[in-house]
Amino acid sequence: MAAWRNISLWMDQLDDPLIARPCLEHDLDVDVAIIGAGYTGLWTAYYLKRQAPQLNIALIEAQTAGFGASGRNGGWLMGNLLGEDRLLAGLSAEQRRASFDLLHGIPDEVAQVLAREGIDCDYRKGGALYCAARYPEQEISLRRYLNKLYAQGLSEADYRWLSPERLAEQLRIAKPYGAIYAPHVATIQPAKLVRGLARVVEGMGVTLYENSPVTHWQSGSVRTDKACVRATWVVPAVEGYATTLPPLGRYQLPVQSLIVATEPLPASTWEQIGLSEGQAFGESSRQVTYGQRSADNRLVFGARGGYQFAGRLRHDFDLTDSEVQLRRYLFGELFPQLKDVRITHSWGGNLGMSRQFRPHMLCDRRAGIAVSGGYGGEGVGATNLGGRTLADLILDRDTPLIHQPWVIREGGLDALKAWEPEPCRWLGYNAIIRSFVHEDQVLANPNTAPWRRKLATGLAGFMEGFMH
């Protein structure tokens, strides 16, 4: 069990003894079989039981609750969904506003559950600071994005620009060009949330089996090497582990994100940096950086990882020296006083990426299958929305949740867009990532000629277009 603590800072901080629950050893007949005891599976079980307490639900987990991305992420609880601006663009102004409000309300919905169920996961709703830093092109891209949001009917109450002086009231970085402030984001201790949810759903009558890897699934049944579960509904809630359950791996690929955490920093250092209200922060480069100040005063900081050929899962998250040093470089550029700080934890995880960066919440009533995934790194909040939505779809409840453009109610899995075969996707992904790294290196050098800066940005933007 000690090895499970080493999967992240968050798991290392738990008082929970992490003793695995019994594995599945006997055949079962249930109403709903959920594969995976991460956020998606647990939220789905929670909302099903809240609305239909009589349901017999089994949760079947390959490791232990929170072993995957739910226990490894950066702790951003966002009131957003990946690609929401594209997904909502075709709606009327009134519908779009209602959908944005639904998304922005995710952190408050989670807060209500935490209060109702007595889950303490260091929840702090301080908003997010999307900073323009390191080079001036970040300000250009951020302002362009903010104008796009305003064109969709959002206002300063949803997202507002902060001048460098206003930004400094919350966060002080070395080269500030400004920031977008979004109030609808909270930070949490992710492992405390996932372990707390597991205890809550057990108390509601859900049976949770751990150390029970699923070897086969189909409409109406789930199998492990020891038992078969027959179910009216099957919910494969595996997100970044979709390649372990064919054919889900055609639609959802595992990519990695990697994180480091410093030793607890003294109050004097935090007085220099800020983040006194639990704000999340990142800088606006294609490195996709994200950070927070943990409840015990560490800097937790992550950035985009990689993709392995054929969608292989990464199991070894002992980060290499170069992986750690890239993240140290990135946060050291923001906070020069931390360039030599001691890093006590480094880890990573597999997350699910759907084709065209399009999250999905899908229900196939004829087959009795419901799926939510493709969160693309924004799953801490999106899983709550996914669990609520799948519960309404399974229970055939006509609510606003099921009428959103990311919900698929016809066509089953075939309605999802599949990824290209290998080696096309591996070559394409690596070409795109290399263009992002090249862009960042060029722009971060203040002596780079303007024509080279423009060329690097244009190439990275062109390559990024292939991802959508």
Chain position carrying tokens 């599949």 = 418
How crowded is residue 156: how many other Cβ atoms within 10 Å of its Cβ? 10
* pLDDT at 217 > cutoff 80: yes
In the structure, what pLDDT confidence band is assigned to residue 5 with cuts at 50, 70 and 90? low
Tens-digit pLDDT profile for residues 381-427: 999 999 999 999 999 999 999 999 999 998 999 999 998 889 888 88
Give the pLDDT confidence score for residue 330 in this predicted structure: 95
Give the largest Cα separation in the chain, rounded.
68
* pLDDT at 3 > cutoff 60: no
Q: How many angstroms separate the CA atoms of 102 and 86, rounded?
A: 16
For residues 18-23, average pLDDT: 91
More confident residue, 169 or 317: 169
* pLDDT at 2 > cutoff 70: no
Tens-digit pLDDT profile for residues 343-375: 999 999 999 989 888 999 999 999 999 999 999
In the structure, what pLDDT confidence band is assigned to residue 162 with cuts at 50, 70 and 90? very high
Non-local CB neighbours of 387 within 8 Å, separated by 6+ positions: 39, 40, 42, 43, 44, 45, 46, 47, 372
Share of the chain above pLDDT 70, in %: 98
Q: Are 159 and 103 in contact (CB under 8 A)?
A: no
More confident residue, 308 or 161: 161
How crowded is residue 403: how many other Cβ atoms within 10 Å of its Cβ? 12
* pLDDT at 187 > cutoff 70: yes
Mean pLDDT estimate for the chain: 94
Highest mean pLDDT among 55-59, 87-91, 458-462: 55-59
Could you tell me the pTM of the whole model? 0.96
In the structure, what pLDDT confidence band is assigned to residue 4 with cuts at 50, 70 and 90? low
* pLDDT at 6 > cutoff 80: no
E strands present in 168-326:
176-182, 185-187, 207-209, 214-218, 221-224, 228-236, 252-262, 280-283, 290-293, 299-304
For residue 118, the one-letter residue type is G
The CA angle 224-228-234, to the nearest 5 degrees, is: 90
Q: How many angstroms separate the CA atoms of 66 and 379, rounded?
A: 13
Q: How far is CA 272 from CA 267, 268, 296, in A?
A: 9, 7, 17
Q: How many angstroms separate the CA atoms of 89 and 244, rounded?
A: 34
